[in-house]
Chain A
Amino acid sequence: MTALGKLLRTTAFKIIAVYLIVFALFAMAVIGYLARHTQALVVSQITETIDAEIKNLQEVHADGGIGRLIDVIAARAQQPGSNLYLVTSFNGAVLASNVTDIDNVTLSRQGWSEISYRRTDEAADSLHDSRALVRVAFIGGFRVLVGRDIEERERLREILATPARWSLAVIVLLGIAGGVFVTRRVMKRIDNMTATSEQIMRGDFGGRLAVTGSGDEFDRLANSLNAMLGRIENLMGGLKHVSDNIAHDLKTPLTRLRNRAEEALRKNQTEKELRRALESTIEESDNLIRTFDALLMISRAEAGEVRKTMIDFDAAEIARDVAELYEPVAEEGGLKLGIDAPDALPVRGSRELVSQALANLIDNAIKHGGTTAGSKVTVAARKSGDRIQFTIGDRGPGIPEADRLRVLERFVRLEESRSRPGAGLGLSLALAVAKLHGGDLRLEDNSPGLKVTLAIPAQPVQTKGT
């Protein structure tokens, strides 16, 4: 496609072309209207003068008869720049005049007409083509013609037409030039955007669209596209991080799995031993599946896919339910599980994911924080400002401040917890769930122990009756 073809096809250019046509038509209409009116004015001036003159001539005829009339006309006809005069007898003999070549039809009836003429003092072969507006009147049996050259009118037309043509040309030229200029600018920015997008599509997710700072619609577009790109880059980064983690952290249990199977094959084993080896292989692969599921769940929460299945539910009820689910386990471990969630707390979100996040936190409190017998785990759900806060506290060893951010990452488990079951994904999911709901997850010192706060925005109170 040629550069010109490309230019002509742009929306900006098409819009400008339409504007241009409309504007040119409008300008022509205005000029045409003006021209018409000035011409009408000139013509009416001419007719008024001629009417006055004829009236005057009628008076002259009434006062002094035909002889006086002819005298007056002859005198007037001699004056330079005079009107046009012609007096004939009724049978056509010219009595006085300063024009010739008037056709008989014109003279045969009274009234107005526009004719071509020649002055008597002009050469017969003169190329000058003069036109005049004339009135014929019958005065006392004579035909009297009074007229006036309308060159003035024609000149006026010229005077108006020339600038009109010029200004039209200027409008069109300026319009086209402006159109090309504006379109080229717009096109340049769009071309830039296209180039950047192509670069991004080739895999450079760091690329961003240029923002000029003028705050125009292109800037707004670029800004929101950039925000979108940022989000994609984050997700991609997360994905890459996940795949790196998977590579590292799933290889360990896979190796274990493989070793176990190999060992079962290698040694001369009894059937019972073989069974045991197979059973533990299945157990190990179940753990792997669970880890995979947890990873999937986290990336789903991070991608925000679950948002479409969000529902309204009572956060306090969820807290009570999940705590109740874990209460027997806590009791079995010699722990007391206290629940404090008295008031209904309406929220909108994923009931399933929030429950799972709470389950993970309570599980942690029992598993990692319940190591000293007789200690206590507390689960609370409260409203604080415009947020719902779930707080899970324990009286265990807690997490050193330096590690509190690190443990939120996938697969991170502190040294002293390695012997306990788990994959190190529980807190990562809780964090992803908090973020999915527009909230956050905080780990604090419970002195002693750990206090985890999961906060999500509360549902704004609905007005009743809707």
Chain B
Amino acid sequence: MRLLIVEDDREAADYLKKALREAGHMAEVANDGDTGLAIALDESFDVLVVDRMLPKRDGLSLVSDLRSRGNETPILILSALGQVDDRVTGLRAGGDDYLAKPYAFSELLARVEVLARRRAPNSADTVYRVGDLELDRLSHQVTRGGEEIVLQPREFRLLEYLMRHAGQVVTRTMLLENVWDYHFDPQTNVIDVHVSRLRSKIDKGFAKPLLQTVRGAGYMIRDGAR
């Protein structure tokens, strides 16, 4: 995957670039808004990581400028301002996701990977499959090995989100934001308990566990045999 990092703090940019390379991705760096815009228009990237406060041209104006020129590259906005209303303005400007500084690299990596493989909204499948686990988004039916599994509405949405991003790491914050639509810190490991509940419903009694915990990052659902 090829990324562009637009970040004026050189140390942070270099750290990101290095860490992304270790994760197997290529990253370019631009240190101000104007350069960032020029490079983003000139070359093609899978994801842009844009700091909100930049010299010459701030991050939000870069994002809205790109969007107004028809550039649809997924954008993750980084910001030291992590409050609700800042998020809203960031997403309104055309960002696809918003991450508050300071962040864990695993969080950024998970979000960037999900953004890069984001599906086009009209080609959404109605049935998600992982191994012998099937989720029907229309009838809200979940089966494993042909046997029906009864889920609570929230458990269904949790599983739906995990399966939409099958094979990708999904962090606790991503789950809280996308399944519950909360952006605050729940203080306790609430998400872990929900996930382990779900796991006991879909994995218990099956030889091959599908829902895995990724240490220090989050969760991932995938067919372990592959």
Give the distance to chain B from A363, nearest Cβ to Cβ, in Å: 5
CB neighbours (8 Å) of A426 from chain B are 187
Considering the chains assembled together, what is the distance between the CA atoms of A349 and B170 in angstroms? 30
Q: Tell me if B140 counts as interface (CB < 8 A to partner A).
A: no
Known contacts being A294-B185, A359-B184, is A324 close to B154, with CB within 8 Å? yes
B84 touches A321 (CB 8 A): no
Known contacts being A328-B193, A329-B193, is A363 close to B188, with CB within 8 Å? yes
Give the distance to chain B from A190, nearest Cβ to Cβ, in Å: 38
Contact residues on A (Cβ < 8 Å of other chain), bracket: 20 to 34
Considering the chains assembled together, what is the distance between the CA atoms of A300 and B182 in angstroms? 17
Interface 9-mer from A162-170, A238-246, A303-311: A303-311
CB neighbours (8 Å) of A286 from chain B are 104
Give the distance to chain A from B139, nearest Cβ to Cβ, in Å: 23
B84 touches A359 (CB 8 A): no
CB neighbours (8 Å) of A366 from chain B are 188
CB neighbours (8 Å) of B194 from chain A are 325, 328
Considering the chains assembled together, what is the distance between the CA atoms of A332 and B88 in angstroms? 34
Q: Tell me if A231 counts as interface (CB < 8 A to partner B).
A: no
Q: Tell me if B102 counts as interface (CB < 8 A to partner A).
A: yes
Considering the chains assembled together, what is the distance between the CA atoms of A453 and B97 in angstroms? 35
Interface residues in A357-409 by Cβ distance below 8 A to B read 359-360, 363, 366-367
B184 touches A309 (CB 8 A): no
Q: Tell me if A356 counts as interface (CB < 8 A to partner B).
A: yes
- Cross-interface CB contact of B84 among A290, A350, A422, cutoff 8 Å: A350
- Cross-interface CB contact of A355 among B182, B188, B197, cutoff 8 Å: B182
- Cross-interface CB contact of A352 among B184, B188, B193, cutoff 8 Å: B184
Considering the chains assembled together, what is the distance between the CA atoms of A332 and B83 in angstroms? 31
Considering the chains assembled together, what is the distance between the CA atoms of A295 and B37 in angstroms? 35
Q: Tell me if B15 counts as interface (CB < 8 A to partner A).
A: no
B84 touches A352 (CB 8 A): yes
A329 touches B189 (CB 8 A): yes
Q: Tell me if A297 counts as interface (CB < 8 A to partner B).
A: yes
Chain B contact residues, majority secondary structure? loop
Considering the chains assembled together, what is the distance between the CA atoms of A422 and B185 in angstroms? 12
B88 touches A309 (CB 8 A): yes
Give the distance to chain A from B28, nearest Cβ to Cβ, in Å: 28
CB neighbours (8 Å) of B188 from chain A are 326, 329, 363, 366-367, 421
Known contacts being A297-B83, A306-B85, A350-B84, is A326 close to B182, with CB within 8 Å? no
Nearest B residue to A423, CB-CB: B187
Known contacts being A321-B180, A355-B184, A422-B187, is A289 close to B102, with CB within 8 Å? yes
Q: Tell me if B183 counts as interface (CB < 8 A to partner A).
A: yes
Known contacts being A306-B84, A306-B85, is A326 close to B190, with CB within 8 Å? yes
Give the distance to chain B from A307, nearest Cβ to Cβ, in Å: 10
B83 touches A300 (CB 8 A): yes
Q: Tell me if B146 counts as interface (CB < 8 A to partner A).
A: no
Considering the chains assembled together, what is the distance between the CA atoms of A329 and B194 in angstroms? 8
Give the distance to chain A from B175, nearest Cβ to Cβ, in Å: 11
Considering the chains assembled together, what is the distance between the CA atoms of A352 and B185 in angstroms? 11
Give the distance to chain B from A427, nearest Cβ to Cβ, in Å: 12
Considering the chains assembled together, what is the distance between the CA atoms of A321 and B157 in angstroms? 14
Q: Tell me if A293 counts as interface (CB < 8 A to partner B).
A: yes
Give the distance to chain A from B10, nearest Cβ to Cβ, in Å: 22
Q: Mark B181-216, 1 if CB is under 8 A from A, else 0.
A: 011111111100110010000000000000000000
A332 touches B187 (CB 8 A): no
A293 touches B186 (CB 8 A): no
CB neighbours (8 Å) of A350 from chain B are 84
Nearest A residue to B187, CB-CB: A363
Nearest A residue to B197, CB-CB: A328
CB neighbours (8 Å) of A355 from chain B are 182, 184
Give the distance to chain A from B189, nearest Cβ to Cβ, in Å: 7
Q: Tell me if B82 counts as interface (CB < 8 A to partner A).
A: yes
Q: Tell me if A159 counts as interface (CB < 8 A to partner B).
A: no
B186 touches A325 (CB 8 A): yes
A325 touches B190 (CB 8 A): yes
CB neighbours (8 Å) of A306 from chain B are 83-85
A sample of 17 inter-chain contacts (CB < 8 A) reads A289-B102, A293-B82, A293-B185, A296-B82, A297-B83, A306-B83, A321-B180, A324-B154, A325-B180, A325-B182, A326-B186, A352-B84, A356-B182, A359-B182, A363-B187, A366-B188, A421-B187
Residues of B within 8 A of A (CB): 82-85, 88, 100, 102, 104, 154, 180, 182-190, 193-194, 197
Q: A353-B84, A367-B188 are in contact. List 18 more A-B contacts (CB 8 A).
A: A296-B83, A297-B83, A300-B83, A324-B154, A325-B180, A325-B194, A326-B188, A326-B190, A329-B190, A350-B84, A352-B184, A355-B184, A359-B182, A359-B187, A363-B187, A363-B188, A366-B188, A422-B187
